[in-house]
Structure 1
Amino acid sequence: MAGDGEFERDQNYIATRITADGRDGYPVEPGRYRLVIARACPWANRAAIVRRLMGLEDVLSMGIAGPLHDERSWTFHLDPGGKDPVLDIERLQEAFFRREPGYPRGITVPAIVDIPTGQVVTNDFAQITLDLGHEWAAHQRDGAPDLYPEERRDEIDDVADKVFQDVNNGVYKCGFASTQGAYDRAYRRLWERMDWLEERLRSRRYLVGDTITEADVRLFPTLVRFDAVYHGHFKCNRQKLTELPALWAYARDLFQTPGFGDTIDFEQIKAHYYVVHSHINPTGIVPKGPESGGWLTPHGREELGGQPFGDGTPPGPPPQSERVPSLD
């Protein structure tokens, strides 16, 4: 927390990469690594989406931490015996400590763990999705989309950075601000950027070009949590997402696209924020609403053209063990 009450995110992550050539000592190998996420976490949500879109379920297994944690890290409290069935650990912290005893920074998801050693390889969430999209290309499904096409990377990076600073991280700057001034600044920046996104998406189906890109993957996890958590819990309450016509239709379009909505568990999302953030919600009461059925209503975005996967195809259904509760 900065001296002026502004929330500052620690962005010092383990930057080791898993690459096709293994230049950091970790070559891409089917079955060697385990991606650890939490359904509650928006940063981990990105990795779950890209893994689905690339069709990597059979080569990169996924552990799912429960929505609750304490100062020692995410736990596998939803798994039988309270342990991840592959890594045989109760807390993600154990994988970080095996990499660096007494690891001093945040124990965060997503994280990729080297199964043979039990050590975390990386928790650099921004790089993880880029590498799943390109370094793992030899093991992707037929028809996997290119989420980071070379000719559009500058625009994708520019849009994604604006979204990160003002929206992805902006909601946290509102929620975790400890002074009125810090909150007011974050709130203003958030809604200036939301208005910018609303205008941008009035005439285009996706944020960059006419297909889904990394920019869309990075915005969606914040939008899908907006009304359920950020509007009230984080005081981002000028409007609900459902009151922003273009953004609400855009978010529904993505939610109904295979690989997006099928990664979302609203109950786990709400349980995490409303229980873990006891300094914001000391009673620990988890709200019943909002109703989620609206996510399945027609969005009409097809009229703007574009193809979600470009020349590719949608992914198949998720494995049975990874399916989330249906909204039907």
Structure 2
Amino acid sequence: MKNIAVIGYGVIGKRVADAINLQEDLNLAGVCDVISDWRLQNAVRKEYDIYAATAEAEDEMNASGISVKGNLQDLLEKVDLVVDCTPKAISALNVPHYKKKGVKFIVQGGDKHETTGHSFSAENNYESALNLDATRVVSCNTTSILRTLTALKRADLLDYARGTLLRRATDPWESHLGGIMNTMVPERDIPSHQGPDAKSVDPDLDVITSAVKVPETLSHMHYWNVKLKKQASKEEVLDAFKTSSRIKLIQYDQGLVSNNTIKEMFLDMGRPWGDMYEVALWEDMLKVQGDELFYAYVVDNQAIVIPETIDAIRALTGIETDGAKSIAKTNESLGIH
């Protein structure tokens, strides 16, 4: 049983905390933040131990009736590993504290690869993370790219891949603060950062991405054109995707015609927050023409990295050396079937 801390109780942090709490081999030692509003009040309701990141935050928490167990340094004394879910500007300030304390740590995809020297995707490079001091769980879009392309690579089908990403404008709970309306904003640089980011996990990938920010908040959508190593049937491609337990094949002709209908399906399935941990890939939209493959899928940026983070914890702490076994444990705990 390893003791794990979550630093930053926001969109990702609250989900990571709940997922840790579901694991038989992990113990959530506490969550640490600067907020004392409804978000942290929900952590109190779940009976999570609360730690204050700053003295000012502790004063505000106490004034709000939140029982504070201590500060960040107190929490670091009690844990084997920290999952930092704070924005990259904050995590950059936190990392020196983790290193000074000799505590293993995980950062998120917004941080640079150089922060840890290792970037993680469970089905691709679990074993390379075993017993490391730190890793970075790559971003939601990069995670989806690695899952799908790694599945094709395992089947010896992948030559190169070119993808277009339609990126949601902001997180749903912050849509009153910003985002875009009645426009689309292309990223200036091609490739967009996701392709090079995927290569930080698997340098052998030949992948180029371009991205457009669109005026919606539910999810991202990807379109991919893949050059196969050989001519293949649609069935061979689908069999390759089925080797990933975290790709869910869906049917357009069953009414799953948009990101909102897909979200509704996962809500109906009883997932917390309607979370979709899998890549939702349209099976009946997928086309193979000779040695070219075309497909599209949807990415839940609030949820897809949660199972990856749990597997990264196991890899860094060494409590499970077999990636497939960790993935199976995590999937079972989160209801990924």
Q: Same fold (TM over 0.5)?
A: no
Larger CA Rg, structure 1 vs 2: 2
**Relative to total residues, which structure has the larger strand share, 1 or 2?**
2
Q: TM-score, normalised by structure 2?
A: 0.32
Q: State the TM-score, normalized to the length of structure 1.
A: 0.32
